[in-house]
Amino acid sequence: MNKILDVYHGLYAKFGPQNWWPVTKEGEIAPKYHKNINLTEKQQLEVCFGAILTQNTNWKNVEKAIFELNKISFIKNYPQYLVGLKIIFCSTVGVMESAL
């Protein structure tokens, strides 16, 4: 495992962050690619949502989903929405179940 981390750290030191995932800037609702951006906590969560959603669909559908989540400020206000919400994610069958 240390070899993998050594390779990762070496590549990161040489090339730095790649900004390869589109994120939504403050005041916008559509994710876009941005160069040299420090991700906010909201943008980091958006990347996580996008990565999970991309597992079972294509990027255009994920982009639409993130657009809709941004329209209702879901990602920005996620702690408020997730209070009391139990999310179970099973990657083997790709099922997301929510229970209140």
The answer to whether residue 97 scores a pLDDT higher than 70 is: no
Count: domains in the chain = 1
Express each pLDDT in 55-95 by its tens digit: 877 888 888 888 888 888 877 776 655 544 444 443 333 44
Tell how far CA 90 is from the center of its chain.
17
Q: What is the pLDDT of residues 12-21, one digit of tens each?
A: 899 887 778 8
Q: Which amino acid is at 21?
A: W
Sequence-ordered list of residues with C-beta below 8 angstroms from that of 13, at least 6 positions apart, any chain: none
What does the DSSP 8-state code read for residue 91?
A: T
> For 20-52, what is each residue's pLDDT tens digit?
889 999 889 889 988 888 888 888 888 888 888
